[in-house]
Amino acid sequence: MMLRKFVTLHFHLAVWLSILGGIAAFTYPDLIIVDDEGLFGPLRHNLLFAVAYLLLGQIGLWYLRYLRGGYSEALLMGYTFLATAFGAQVYAEVNGLPVSAYFIGALFYFAAAHGLYYFLGRPPAQDAESPST
C-alpha cells in the first residue's frame, strides 16, 4: 500500500518535471543541444519539435487521463519517452550533434517513472469471482 502511494506520488512529480522541463527546453534550447556557435539550428529545431510533441502529449494526458487514474496511457507515454531517448541518441550520432547527456537521461527517467506507475501504481485487481450476497 505504501509503495503504491510512493510510486503514484513519484509519477505525478515526474509528470510535472517533464512538463516544466519541456517548457524550459524552449526557453533554453542549449539544454538539449550544446551549440555555442549556432551551427546546428535546423537540426536542433527538429529535436525541439519532438520535445513539443512530448510536452503536448504529457499535458493532454495529465489533464484528460492521469487525474482519473489512466494506467495504460502512462505505459504508452513511458514507451514514447523511451523511444524518444533512443531516437535522440541515434539522431545525434547520425548528424554529429552534441546532444546533452542530461536530456537523454531525463527522457530515460521519465520513461522509468511512467513504467513504474503502470506496473506498481495500479490498485490490485478486483476478484472477478467474488461471491455476491
Instruction: Over range 76-102, report the average pLDDT.
Output: 92
All 3 cell numbers of residue 76? 504508452
- CA-wise closest residue to 47 among 108, 107, 2, 6: 107
Choose between 63 and 35: higher pLDDT.
63
Mean pLDDT for all residues in the chain = 86
Q: Report the percentage of the chain scoring pLDDT > 70.
A: 89
Question: How does residue 47 score in pLDDT terms, banded at 50, 70 and 90?
Answer: confident
Instruction: Over range 46-68, report the average pLDDT.
Output: 88
pLDDT at 53 over 80: yes
Q: What pLDDT, on the 0 to 100 scale, is given for residue 44?
A: 81
Helix (H, G, I), strand (E, B) or coil at 45: helix
Q: How far apart are CA 111 and CA 80, in angstroms?
A: 8
Burial class of 58 by CB neighbour count within 10 A (0 to 12, 13 to 18, 19+): buried
Of all helices (H) and strands (E), which one includes residue 7? helix 2-27
- 96 neighbors 39 (Cβ within 8 angstroms): no
- 106 neighbors 1 (Cβ within 8 angstroms): no
Question: How does residue 10 score in pLDDT terms, banded at 50, 70 and 90?
Answer: very high
pTM of the complete model: 0.85
Q: What pLDDT, on the 0 to 100 scale, is given for residue 9?
A: 93
